[in-house]
């Protein structure tokens, strides 16, 4: 089945490096101002995932979540998590490394959309 | 006019080689002695180093606040007000210095820092210096013998985490009301823009008693998180994005303290057909209102980043708007003729470009722009983007996410019902704009849009005397206006009986 979220090789390497420092990780896709639209990465037991979230898949062994209402607006696209040089990211664990996870996206093909809809029902 | 680059001959401002934290009225080196490089987005070069604080530094700052809080709370409102006014006066005397420092730190055009950021920041200190003196408690007569007295009391020591888009203005939005209300505060500037606040502190630090205002610099993970998480904080105020907003609420729930959150938006800017009824000043103003998407390089929580235009005027309106957009002068942010400067960080630049990519994939039409902008010379390594207009529909991702760049996504509507449906079809509700010559249309739309601020026949004005804050996922609480003092005060009720008779129950 087509992945709703995937990661570049560089991202997977970074996740492995960060896991050595911080233990098991999870991602939560942010929205809104400033660092909005950035994927945030936290120690797994630090961020409380709730009923309002949806699980999209694992990247580098870390589960990736997004708020359900945000997913409704984003679901026609595949989320591709990349790494760029940068600063910030609030409490996301990669900030001090001088890099940021960055979201890239790809619009699903018709076939992929059908496949995802089928699997959703 | 062109201001000299900081640190060169004739510069109005020079940055030190490094900056420490400001704790307990003194410059204090970070406990573990680490600093990080601070880059100017104007030229992409390192220009100073900033304290890379950790939990120990945050804790020290909070302790300084707690030591100072009793005396500051007991300081008369007249005296607190006088100090805030003096801060405003110092800022006004040094307006150009602060504006240039802000531009170098953030990349924004100095034209805007001079005309908007710094004057507005000054006014916030004056506004809260005023309203705190006019604020009244309450006296309620419950019955002939019983009176309820209501007093405003400060919360104690607040933690404030501010963003990088308006470093000094966001400082004033948070610091002025907190201090006016009698709180001490620990402020964590954004690590992308940590420099200009040091120039400000050098100007005003002698005016405040030690420990009332503390500034701890560093990365979000290392300094911001321990501040939000500390059991020594009595309230947290945050401007940023939704996931971190949730995290801050989660931490606050552990300590049972209040939070205020401003988490951004995707503001619709709605142009009704009657704006084109006449070719006059009002139409020029409406066109300028459209172009406001480029203010502050588009790095504004309330950027009018979705333009909704009545389909009957679309072609004519866009002709005019496009001409105006093409007149936006980009380039050296230190030149007062420059209208669009550098994006605040490299990551921000990458993010904007990633949206150009998704816009293309989703089939949005590029009306203008859509590329990184490269300059020769001093700005060659800076982070610049062309003002960009996409045309598409509200289901596209560029209509649903805050890009935080000089990018507007335009669509049309057939009638008022469709306009309202599109306007409210978003997760957010911070700002909105309504443009109409018909007061009834403007009023009804203003009330029906689910957003905290509806600019009506104007946009991007931020007077201290008007409440600002979000509906829906745009956050909790308000900033500006007298009412925001509520977010920085406790209510003390004394319920007093003047009866000398027992109640007769026992």
Of the partner residues B164, B246, B358, the one whose CB lies closest to the CB of residue A34? B164
Buried b (16+ CB within 10 A) or exposed e, B70-103: eebbebebeebbebbbbbbebbeebbbbbbbbbb
pTM above 0.80, yes or no: yes
Three-state SS at B412: strand
Q: What would you report as the CA-atom Rg of chain B, rounded to the nearest whole angstrom?
A: 24
In a domain, B464, yes or no: no
Domains of chain A, CATH where assigned:
5-120 (2.60.300.12)
**Residue A87 pLDDT more than 90?**
no
Q: Strand pairing partners for A40?
A: A28
Identify whether residues B248 and B280 lie together within a single domain.
no
The model's pLDDT over B128-147, given as tens digits with 9 standing for 90+, comes to 999 999 999 999 999 999 99
Are residues B396 and B353 in contact, defined by beta-carbon separation less than 8 angstroms? Answer: no
For residues B42 and B120, membership in a common domain is answered with yes
Which residue's entry shows tokens 């998407």? B293
| pLDDT for res A119 | 54
**Annotated catalytic residue, options B262, B299, B402, B479:** B262
Q: Is A8 on the interface with B (CB under 8 A)?
A: no
Mutate to test the interface with A, among B44, B221, B263, B402 (most CBs of A within 10 A): B221
CATH number at residue B409: 3.40.309.10
The whole-angstrom separation of Cα B430 and Cα B440 is 22
Q: Which of B96, B78, B129 is nearest to B13 (CA)?
A: B96
Q: What are phi and psi of B383, to 5 degrees?
A: -110, 90
Domain that holds residue B118: 18-263+474-492
Q: How many CB atoms lie within 10 A of CB A10?
A: 13
| Alpha carbons A16 and A25: distance in angstroms, whole number | 10
Please give the Cα distance from B304 to B271 (Å, whole number): 12
How many independent structural domains does chain B possess? 2
Percentage above 70 pLDDT, chain A? 97
Tens of pLDDT along B182-212?
A: 999 999 999 999 999 999 999 999 999 999 9
Is residue B226 domain-resident? yes
My answer on whether B423 and B294 are in the same domain is yes
Residue-wise DSSP of A27-46? EEE--BSTTTTPEEEEETTT
Q: Are residues B381 and B415 in the same domain?
A: yes
Would you say residue B191 lies in a domain? yes
- Kindly state whether residue B8 falls inside one of the protein's structural domains: no
Most A-contacting residue of B36, B241, B405, B475 (CB-CB within 10 A), to test interface:
B241
Longest dimension (CA), chain B: 88
What is the pLDDT, as a whole number, of residue A120? 46
**Residue B324 has what pLDDT?**
98
Using only C-alpha atoms, chain A has a radius of gyration, in whole angstroms, of: 14
In-domain check, residue B499: no
Backbone phi, psi, residue B356, to 5°: -60, -40
Least confident range of A27-41, B5-19, B360-374: A27-41
Q: Is B169 domain-assigned?
A: yes
Residues B229, B184, single domain; the answer is yes
Q: So what's the ipTM on this one?
A: 0.95
User: What's the rounded mean pLDDT across residues B237-241?
Assistant: 96
Name B49's bridge partners: B18, B37
Residue of B nearest to A65 (CA): B243
- Are B236 and B312 in the same domain? no
B301 touches A at CB < 8 Å: yes
Kindly state whether residue B291 falls inside one of the protein's structural domains: yes
DSSP secondary-structure letter at A24? S
Give the Cα separation of B387 and B405 in Å (integer): 8
> Is A33's pLDDT higher than 90?
no
pLDDT bracket for residue B74 (50, 70, 90): very high
CATH of the domain at B177: 3.40.605.10
Query: Mean pLDDT throughout B331-355?
Result: 94
- Whether chain B has a CB inside 8 Å of the CB on A91: the answer is yes
Active site residue B418: no
Q: What is the mean pLDDT of chain B?
A: 97
Q: CA-CA distance, B420 to B338, in Å (whole number)? A: 35
Q: Does B387 lie in the same domain as B275?
A: yes
Cα–Cα distance measured from residue B165 to residue B442, given in angstroms and rounded to the nearest whole number = 30
* pLDDT surpasses 50 at A121: no
Same domain, B273 and B382: yes
Residue B97 lies in a domain: yes
Paired strand residues for B506: none
Share above pLDDT 90 across residues of chain B, in percent, rounded to a whole number? 98
**Of A75, A69, A84, the residue nearest B352 (C-alpha):** A84
Q: In this structure, are B140 and B227 located in the same domain?
A: yes
Mean pLDDT of B312-322: 98
For chain B, what's the residue count?
Answer: 506
Residues B146 and B171 in one domain: yes
Which of A85 and A25 is assigned the larger pLDDT? A25
Both B45 and B194 in one domain: the answer is: yes
The answer to whether A64 faces chain B, any CB pair under 8 Å, is no
Instruction: Decide which of B70 and A1 is more confident.
Output: B70
Mean pLDDT for the stretch of residues B461-487: 97
Same domain, B73 and B29: yes
Which of B35, B242, B361 to mutate: most A Cβ within 10 Å? B242
- Residues of chain B neighbouring A104 (CB-CB closer than 8 A): 354, 357-358
């Amino acid at each position: 089945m087509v992945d709703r979220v995937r990661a570049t090789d560089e991202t997977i390497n970074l996740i492995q490096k960060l896991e050595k420092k911080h233990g098991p990780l999870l991602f939560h896709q942010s929205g809104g101002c400033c660092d909005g639209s950035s994927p945030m990465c936290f120690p797994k037991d630090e961020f409380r995932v709730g009923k309002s979230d949806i699980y999209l898949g694992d990247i580098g062994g870390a589960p990736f979540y997004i708020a359900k209402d945000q997913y409704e607006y984003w679901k026609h696209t595949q989320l591709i998590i990349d790494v760029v040089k940068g600063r910030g990211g609030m409490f996301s664990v990669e900030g001090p490394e001088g890099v940021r996870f960055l979201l890239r996206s790809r619009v699903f093909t018709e076939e992929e959309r059908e496949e995802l809809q089928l699997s959703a029902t | 006019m062109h201001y000299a680059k900081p640190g060169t001959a004739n510069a109005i401002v020079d940055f030190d080689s490094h900056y420490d934290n400001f704790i307990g009225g003194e410059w204090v080196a970070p406990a573990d002695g680490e600093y990080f490089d601070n880059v100017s987005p104007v030229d992409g070069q390192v220009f100073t180093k900033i304290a890379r604080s950790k939990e120990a530094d945050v804790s020290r700052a909070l302790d300084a606040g707690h030591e100072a809080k009793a005396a500051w709370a007991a300081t008369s409102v007249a005296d607190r007000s006088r100090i805030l006014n003096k801060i405003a006066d110092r800022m006004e005397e040094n307006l150009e210095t602060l504006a240039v420092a802000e531009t170098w730190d953030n990349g924004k055009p100095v034209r805007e820092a001079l005309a908007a950021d710094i004057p507005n920041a000054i006014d916030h200190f004056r506004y809260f210096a005023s309203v705190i003196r006019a604020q009244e408690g309450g006296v309620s007569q419950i019955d002939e013998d019983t009176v309820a007295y209501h007093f405003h009391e400060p919360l104690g020591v607040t933690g404030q985490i501010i963003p990088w888009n308006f470093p000094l203005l966001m400082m004033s939005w948070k610091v002025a009301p907190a201090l006016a209300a009698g709180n001490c505060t620990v402020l964590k500037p954004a690590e992308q823009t940590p420099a200009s606040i040091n120039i400000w502190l050098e100007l005003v630090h002698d005016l405040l008693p030690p420990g009332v205002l503390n500034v701890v610099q560093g990365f979000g993970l290392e300094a911001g998180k321990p501040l939000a998480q500390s059991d020594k904080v009595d309230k947290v105020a945050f401007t940023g994005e939704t996931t971190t907003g949730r995290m801050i609420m989660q931490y606050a729930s552990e300590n049972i303290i209040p939070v205020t959150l401003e988490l951004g938006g995707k503001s619709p800017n709605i142009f009704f057909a009657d704006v084109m009824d006449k070719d006059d000043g009002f139409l020029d103003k409406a066109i300028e209102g459209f172009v406001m998407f480029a203010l502050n390089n588009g790095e504004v929580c309330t950027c009018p980043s979705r333009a909704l235009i009545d389909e009957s005027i679309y072609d004519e309106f866009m002709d005019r708007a496009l001409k105006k957009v093409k007149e936006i002068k980009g380039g050296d942010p230190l030149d007062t003729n420059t209208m669009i400067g550098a994006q605040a960080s490299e990551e921000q630049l990458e993010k904007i470009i990633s949206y150009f990519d998704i816009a293309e994939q989703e089939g949005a039409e590029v009306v203008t722009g859509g590329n990184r902008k490269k300059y020769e010379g001093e700005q060659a390594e800076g982070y610049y983007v062309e003002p960009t207009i996409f045309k598409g529909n509200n289901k596209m991702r560029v209509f649903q996410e805050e890009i935080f760049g000089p990018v507007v996504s335009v669509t049309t509507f057939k009638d008022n019902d469709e306009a309202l449906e599109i306007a409210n079809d978003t997760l957010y509700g911070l700002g909105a704009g309504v443009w109409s010559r018909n007061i009834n249309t403007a009023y009804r739309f203003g009330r029906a849009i689910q957003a905290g601020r509806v600019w009506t026949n104007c946009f991007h004005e931020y007077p201290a005397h008007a409440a600002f804050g979000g509906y829906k996922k745009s956050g909790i609480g308000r900033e500006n206006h007298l009412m925001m003092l509520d977010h920085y005060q406790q209510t003390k009720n004394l319920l007093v009986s003047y009866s000398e008779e027992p109640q007769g129950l026992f």
